[in-house]
Amino acid sequence: MSSDELPNNQNALSSKETIEENQSDNLNLEEQESLDWAKQAFEKLKQKQLEKKEALFKESNSLAQVTEETQETNNLQLKNKINNVDKDDCLNDSSKDILKDIEDSGLGEFDDSFTWSAGVLAAQGKEPDSISLEDIDWLKRLRQGLEKTRKGFVTDLLEKFGDDPLTPEVLDDLEALLLRADVGVNATDQIITALRRRLNEEVLDSKEGFRFLKQQLCQIVNKPIKNSNQEVLAPKHKSLNIWLLVGVNGVGKTTTLGKLAHLALRSGYTALIAAADTFRAAAVQQVQIWGRRSGVSVIANETPNADPAAIVFDAIGAAKSKEIELLLVDTAGRLQTKNNLMEELAKIRRIIDRLAPEAIVESLLVLDASQGQNGLNQAMSFAESANLTGVVITKLDGSSRGGVAFAVASEAKLPIRFIGAGERLQDLKPFNSFEFVEALLANR
C-alpha cells in the first residue's frame, strides 16, 4: 500500500462512520417520534373510554329514575331497591353488551404491546385522534395470535440475519426457514431471487435486509388483491350480495359466517344467513346459535339431509322481499366424494344465477391456518372447481403455520379477504397485508 492511498482510506472510513452515526441519530429520532405518537394516542383513547362508560351509566341512571318514578306511589320497597342498585345492574341488555365490549377491549397499560400497535397504525398514516380501542385490541390479538409462527420462524431468522451485512450463505439459510414456515415454494423463490438481485447490486446490512424482506412479503400477498381490483372486499350497498362460504369440515366455516354477519351489521349493512350445510350433524343448530349471537336472521330447514339448493332458493326469495344487502350461505364441507361436494356447490350456483342474476356473488374458501400445506392443497383443489374469489384464514391464534398465507397468495393466486384470530364475534377483520407482516415479524 502506498502512502498516497492511506489518507483516502482514512477519509472513506471516516465517511462510513459519519453515515452510520447519522443513521443511528435518524433511528433514535424515529423511535422518539413513534413513542410520542403512542403517548398521544393512549391519552386520547383513555379519554374516549371514560366518556363512553359515563354515557352508558348516565343512560342506565335515567332508566332507573324512570322506573323509580313509575313505581314510587305503589311500591316503596321497589323504590328502595332501585335507589341502592349497583350501576351495572341498571344497564339494559344492549348497554351491557356495549359495556362488555369496552371492558373486553380495555386499554390496558402503556406497554410494549400498546406502543407496537400504535406504531403500526402510525406507519399507515393514521392520526392519534382517529384510532379506536378496537384498532389497538385487534393488533394486539393478531400479534399474539402469530406468536407460535413467530417463535418457530422469526427467532431463527433474526439469528441468521445478525448485525453483519447479508451474505449468500445467509440467504441459503433464509430459504430453508421460509420453506419450513409453510411460506411455499413459489413465494420463497420470489423472495430469495429478489434478495439475491439486491445483494448483487449493493452491500445490504441486516436492518435494510429485514425491511426489504417485509416489502417482499407484502408484495406477495398484495398481488392477488391488486389483480382483483378490489382492495377490501365489502358488499355493495342497495344491491344483493351473496357470499358462499366453502371448505372442508372443521376449518371454522360456521364460526366465520357468524363473525361476518356481525361485521356486516356493524358496518351498516342488512344481512341474512342461509344454513345450507344440511349434511353435517348439528350444523343447522350451530348456524342458528351464531345467527342469534350476531343478531342476524337465519333461513333453515332442520329436516335431516334437506336439499341445500332449496334452502338457498328460499333464502334468495326472503332476501329480495326484505331488500337484504348481504346473504351469507353456509355450505357443506364433506359429502360422500369430492365430486358430490362440487356438484352440490355447482347446483347452488345455478339456483343463484337463475333467481338472482343481478346479484354480486363471492365464493370464499375458509382455511384453517394450522393445516399448513394441507390448507394450500385444499385451496388448489377448490379453486379448480368452485369458482373461488377469495380466502378467509381462520385460527391464526392457535397456529404455528401462519406462513401459509403467502403460499395461498402465490400458488393458488387467491386474494386473502379476511383473517380470524380469536373466538369473539369481533375477532375477524378484513385482511391488511402491512399489519399481518408487521405482526408476523414483530420481534425486531
Which parts are annotated binding residues for GTP? 247-254, 330-334, 394-397
Cell readout for 392 is 378467509
Strands (E) across 112-270 are located at: 241-246
Distances (CA, A) of 221 to 396, 402, 416, 427, 436: 16, 13, 7, 21, 10
Distances (CA, A) of 152 to 181, 191, 210, 271, 366: 7, 19, 17, 40, 24
Cell readout for 105 is 377491549
CB neighbours of residue 142 within 10 Å:
27
Which amino acid, 194? A
Exposed (0-12), middle (13-18) or buried (19+): which is 344, by Cβ within 10 Å?
buried
358496518: which residue's cell? 267
User: How far, in Å, CA of 426 to CA of 424, rounded?
Assistant: 5
User: How far, in Å, CA of 277 to CA of 311, rounded?
Assistant: 9
User: How far, in Å, CA of 437 to CA of 148, rounded?
Assistant: 14
Element (H, E) at 416: strand 416-420
Determine how β-strand 326-330 pairs with β-strand 271-275. Answer: parallel
Binding site, annotated residues: 247-254, 330-334, 394-397
Distances (CA, A) of 234 to 146, 192, 326, 414, 425: 25, 34, 10, 16, 18
Cell readout for 235 is 358488499
Q: Among positive and negative, which fits the CA dihedral 252, 219, 440, 432?
A: negative
Query: Nearest 5°: phi and psi at 239?
Result: -135, 160
User: DSSP string covering 296-320, please?
Assistant: --EE---STT--HHHHHHHHHHHHH
